[in-house]
Amino acid sequence: MADYQIINPYNGEQIEAYDFHTREQVAQAVDTLVAGRKNQQSTPAFERSNILLKLAQLLQDRKDDLARLITEETGKTISDSRVEIDRAYNTALASAMEARAINGEALDSDAYPPMREKVGVVLWKPLGTVLCITPFNFPINIAVHKIGPAFAAGNTILFKPGPQNKRSAGLLVELCYEAGMDKSVLQMLIPDIEATSFAVSHPQIQAINFTGGTAAANAIAANAGYKKMLFELGGNDPLIVMPDADLDAAVKATINQRFATAGQRCTAAKRLFVHSEVFDAFAEKLVIATAKLKVGDPAEDDTFVGPLIHTAAADEVENRIESAVKAGARVLFGHQRQGNILWPTILDNVADDAEIVAEETFGPVVPLRKFDDENELIALINNSPFGLQAGVFTQNLALAKRLYNQLDVGLLAVNDGPGFRAEHFPFGGVKESGIGKEGVRYAIREMSYQKTLVI
Ligand X SMILES: O=CCS(=O)(=O)O
Ligand Y SMILES: NC(=O)c1ccc[n+]([C@@H]2O[C@H](COP(=O)([O-])OP(=O)(O)OC[C@H]3O[C@@H](n4cnc5c(N)ncnc54)[C@H](O)[C@@H]3O)[C@@H](O)[C@H]2O)c1
Selection from ligand X, ligand Y, none that 219 binds (CB < 5 to 8 A by kind) is ligand Y
Candidate list 10, 20, 89, 138; residue touching ligand X; CB under 6 A: 138
Task: Find, among 263, 247, 274, 251, the residue nearest to 370 by Cα.
Answer: 274
Q: Which of 78, 93, 185, 233 binds ligand Y (CB under 6 A)?
A: 233
With left for phi above 0 and alpha for psi between -120 and 50, is residue 431 left, alpha or beta? Answer: left
Of 49, 137, 168, 290, which lies in the binding site for ligand X, with binding defined by CB under 6 A?
A: 137
82 part of the interface to ligand X, by CB under 6 A: no
Count, residues near ligand X per rule CB under 6 A: 6
Decide: helix, strand or coil at residue 243.
Answer: coil
Out of 21, 227, 270, 421, point to the residue binding ligand X (CB under 6 A): 421
Distance in angstroms (rounded) separating the CA atoms of residues 343 and 288: 14
**How many CB atoms sit inside 10 A of residue 33's CB?**
26
**Per-residue contact flags (x/-) with ligand Y for residues 184 to 223, judged by CB under 6 A:** ---------x--xx--x----------xxx--x--xx---
Contact 448, 126 (CB under 8 A): yes
> 370 or 431: whose CB is closer to ligand Y?
431
Footprint of ligand X on 19-78 (CB under 6 A): none
Of residues 230-289, those binding ligand X (CB under 6 A): 265-267
Give me the long-range contacts of 392-398 (CB less than 8 A, separation at least 24).
392/239, 392/240, 392/242, 393/239, 393/240, 393/241, 393/242, 393/245, 393/246, 393/247, 393/249, 393/250, 393/253, 394/240, 394/242, 394/244, 394/245, 395/244, 395/245, 396/242, 396/244
Q: Is 169 in the site for ligand Y (CB under 6 A)?
A: no
Q: In angstroms, rounded to a whole number, what is the distance separating the alpha carbons of residues 42 and 181?
A: 13
By Cβ distance, which residue is nearest to ligand Y? Answer: 212
Cβ proximity to ligand Y: between 84 and 98 the closer is 84
Among 9, 126, 135, 439, binds ligand Y (CB under 6 A): 135
Residue span binding ligand Y (CB under 6 A) among the ranges 24-32, 177-185, 229-237, 439-447: 229-237
CA 181 – CA 144 distance, rounded (Å): 13
Task: Point out which residues pair with 211 in neighbouring strands.
Answer: 232
State the pairing for strand pair 337-338/430-431. Answer: unpaired
CB 380 within 8 A of CB 366: no
The answer to whether residue 165 forms part of the interface with ligand X (CB under 6 A) is no
Containing H/E element for 91?
A: helix 78-99
Query: What is the distance between the alpha carbons of residues 164 and 28, in angstroms, rounded to a whole number?
Result: 23
Judge whether 232 counts as a catalytic residue: yes
CB of 266 to ligand Y, least distance (A): 3
Which residue in 84, 98, 232, 318 is the catalytic one? Answer: 232
Which listed option, ligand X, ligand Y, none, makes contact with residue 10 (CB within 5 to 8 Å by class)? none
Which C-beta is closer to ligand Y: that of 154 or that of 434? 434
Note the helical H segments in 153-291.
166-179, 193-201, 214-224, 247-254, 279-291
- 235-254 residues near ligand Y, rule: CB under 6 A: 235
The site that binds ligand Y (CB under 6 A) totals a number of residues, namely 27
Q: Rule CB under 6 A: which residues touch ligand X?
A: 137-138, 265-267, 421
The residues annotated with a catalytic role in the active site are 232
Q: Rule CB under 6 A: which residues touch ligand Y?
A: 133-138, 142, 160, 162-163, 193, 196-197, 200, 211-213, 216, 219-220, 232-235, 266, 360, 434
